[in-house]
Amino acid sequence: MRRNRSRILRKVEKQSKRNFILTVAGTILIIIAIFKLGIPLLAQIGQSNIQTQSDKPSFIQPPQLDPLPIATNSATIKISGLAITDKEIEVFVGNSLVNTIKSDHVGKFEIASLKLNSGQNLIKARTRDNDNTSDFSPEQTVIFDDTGPMLEVTNPTSNQSFAGGENTVEVRGKTDVDSTVTVNDFRAIVDSEGKFSYLFKLTNGENIINIKSLDPAGNETSLERKVNFSP
């Protein structure tokens, strides 16, 4: 019985040694596989991440345009602003690139005379650094209008005469909405439909009344009325 037990023990020890040797051998093979395959794979992944990051364009601060007039009667306008120093600034009217200028050592840039289209002009700019560009600056709208506003004077009529009674006459008429009306350089009241009125004081004899309408672009239309007054 002792012999059988010894034989079993020897068999178990032999099996344990074999399992240990196989475990060690398997571990060594796994370590070798990791070194041969895993490290190059990790290096390749890391290199891919670095390449992806290097390919991603860096952020470029967009330029800032100085405030522009809402409307003008000039066919050209000055553009100025601030941007990153020593970079190309591309100026657009609508979707068309119309001018390129370089910012100076403190970031300032200026275009003395930018040509406008008749009517509405949507002006914006962006910074260029080699092949990379910034977002556009906030868009500003400038209206180019060199036509004088409509002006009608319905009262008084030219060469109208007034006698006795009140020595005043109400000057009435109509002009373009958003235009400013003056009567002998005094501002008249203009409503939301462009109708205007002003109470004008008459003097004895001939009175010359100058009515002017000025639109937001700076265009002016004027009319004159001569009236006579006798007390």
Per-residue pLDDT tens listing for the chain (231 residues): 545 545 555 654 666 666 667 666 667 766 666 666 655 554 565 555 544 444 555 789 999 999 999 999 999 999 999 999 999 999 999 999 999 999 999 999 999 999 999 999 999 999 999 889 999 999 999 999 999 999 999 999 999 999 988 899 999 999 999 999 999 999 999 999 999 999 999 999 999 999 999 999 999 999 999 999 998
Identify the bridge partners of residue 77 per DSSP, sorted by sequence position: 114
User: Could you tell me the two tokens for 224?
Assistant: 């004159």
CATH architecture assigned to 64-144? Sandwich (2.60)
Q: How far apart are CA 76 and CA 112, in angstroms?
A: 9
CATH architecture assigned to 151-230? Sandwich (2.60)
Residue 32 has what DSSP assignment? H
Q: What is the pLDDT of residue 44?
A: 61
User: Could you tell me the two tokens for 7?
Assistant: 């034989």
Instruction: Using a cut of 0.75, tell me whether the model's pTM lies above it.
Output: no
| CATH fold match for the domains 64-144 and 151-230 | yes
Residue 223's φ and ψ, nearest 5 degrees, are -135, 155
Q: Where are the domains of the chain?
A: 1-56, 64-144, 151-230
Rg of the Cα atoms in the chain: 43
The H-or-E segment that residue 176 falls in is none
